[in-house]
């Protein structure tokens, strides 16, 4: 996309050469053409802010899921340990019962 060679006069809206300093139709002094670097810088800042917000949310969501997963695994581990202890206790009771009946 190339630069246009003409621009509209802000007073009479006629097309004049881009580098003109005075409108040939209404004789008004034309304002200087400002480079739109600030516009692009603002856009870049805005997009960077959005990207940062998305990344922060994604990272937070990842951490929250990892915390939930860790808590779930810890609960499951605790349940398995309790179940294993119950098995050991019932085996120990069964063994002591069998020794008691054999000994009599």
* Alpha carbon distances (Å) from 38 to 10, 26, 35, 53, 97: 21, 30, 8, 22, 87
Confidence of residue 55 (pLDDT cuts 50, 70, 90): very high
Q: Which of 2-16, 49-63, 78-92 has maximum average pLDDT?
A: 49-63
With a cut of 90, say whether residue 76 has pLDDT above it: yes
With a cut of 50, say whether residue 1 has pLDDT above it: no
Higher pLDDT, 91 or 69: 69
With a cut of 90, say whether residue 93 has pLDDT above it: no
The 10 Å Cβ neighbour count of residue 35 is: 8
pLDDT computed for residue 96 by the predictor: 82
The pTM for the full model equals 0.43
């Amino acid at each position: 996309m190339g630069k246009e060679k003409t621009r509209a006069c802000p007073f009479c809206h006629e097309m004049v050469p881009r580098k003109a300093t005075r409108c040939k139709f209404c004789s008004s002094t034309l304002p200087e053409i400002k480079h739109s670097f600030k516009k692009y810088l603002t856009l870049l800042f805005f997009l960077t802010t959005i990207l940062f917000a998305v990344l922060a949310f994604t990272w937070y969501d990842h951490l929250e899921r990892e915390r939930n997963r860790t808590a779930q695994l810890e609960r499951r581990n605790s349940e398995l340990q309790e179940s294993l202890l119950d098995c050991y206790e019932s085996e120990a009771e069964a063994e002591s019962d069998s020794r008691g009946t054999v000994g009599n």
